[in-house]
């Protein structure tokens, strides 16, 4: 079986139940029952002092990270699993700001704290249906969204923000994609993590336990 037979790319508005339901049905038509949902819609816009935050932008970021990033897909997929008595696994994307707020990004902080909270709440509610709910909380990984903030594109050296993050990370480096992927596969595996639910797992090189 080639890659084309194992992959299906579909576009959906994760904040729209009908749109999510439509791509779920198309996925089931190609692959059969779905057993894992990874809620990863998210991002941030803007940074400001609290008294200057833009309310419309605040609500937009909340909708992206919480409504689209967890609530709607979870409702749609979990309802299907419960109806069909399917054991499933939901993995939400949390953040370092789920535990410690990062400065100036108020809506993102609030949304990711809520992801941590709702991961626990939905894990309890769905446990009797055989549905596990966990979350990953990545530390700092270099990606398209943050690379220019952490690495000086002209010199290749760390920016001031990048230096602060590394100084706050006991491992002294950014994470590697394979390390995040390994944690995700662990949570997705019924054999490895079948008794794990309600957990937000930091993959952060010790960022959250940094101390003097």
Tens-place pLDDT, residues 163-174: 999 999 999 999
Mean pLDDT of 14-22: 98
pLDDT band at 141 (very low <50, low <70, confident <90, very high): very high
Mean pLDDT of 54-73: 98
* Cα separation, 23 vs 25, whole angstroms: 5
Catalytic one of 108, 126, 140, 141: 108
pLDDT tens column, 78-93: 999 999 999 999 999 9
| Whether the predicted pLDDT of 198 surpasses 60 | yes
Please give the pLDDT value at position 149. 86
The answer to pTM > 0.85 is yes
The mean pLDDT value of the chain amounts to 95
Report the candidate in 143, 199, 179, 194 with the shortest Cα–Cα distance to residue 36.
194
* Cα separation, 95 vs 175, whole angstroms: 13
pLDDT band at 143 (very low <50, low <70, confident <90, very high): confident
Structural domains in the chain plus CATH codes: 39-139+175-209 (3.40.50.720)
Mean pLDDT of 59-87: 98
Q: Which has the higher per-residue pLDDT, 12 or 143? A: 12
Please give the pLDDT value at position 1. 56
Mean pLDDT of 1-25: 91
108 is catalytic: yes
Mean pLDDT of 191-208: 98
| Whether the predicted pLDDT of 14 surpasses 60 | yes
Query: How big is the chain, counted in residues?
Result: 212
Please give the pLDDT value at position 146. 86
N- to C-terminal Cα separation, the chain: 53
């Amino acid at each position: 079986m080639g890659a084309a037979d194992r992959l299906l790319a579909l576009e959906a508005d994760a904040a729209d139940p009908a749109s999510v339901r439509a791509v779920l049905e198309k996925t089931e038509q190609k692959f059969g029952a779905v057993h894992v949902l990874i809620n990863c819609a998210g991002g941030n816009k803007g940074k400001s002092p609290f008294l200057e935050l833009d309310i419309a932008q605040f609500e937009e970021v909340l909708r992206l990270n919480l409504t689209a990033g967890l609530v709607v897909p979870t409702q749609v997929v979990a309802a299907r699993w419960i109806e069909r008595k399917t054991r499933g696994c939901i993995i939400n994307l949390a953040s370092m700001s789920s535990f410690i707020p990062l400065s100036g990004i108020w809506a993102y902080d609030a949304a990711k704290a809520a992801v941590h909270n709702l991961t626990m709440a939905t894990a309890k509610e769905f446990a009797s249906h055989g549905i596990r709910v966990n979350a990953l909380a990545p530390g700092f990984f270099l990606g398209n969204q943050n690379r220019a903030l952490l690495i000086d594109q002209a010199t290749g050296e760390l920016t001031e923000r990048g230096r602060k993050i590394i100084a706050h990370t006991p491992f002294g480096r950014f994470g590697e994609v394979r390390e995040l992927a390994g944690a995700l596969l662990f949570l997705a595996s019924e054999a490895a993590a079948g008794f794990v639910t309600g957990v937000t797992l930091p993959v952060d090189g010790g960022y959250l336990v940094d101390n003097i």
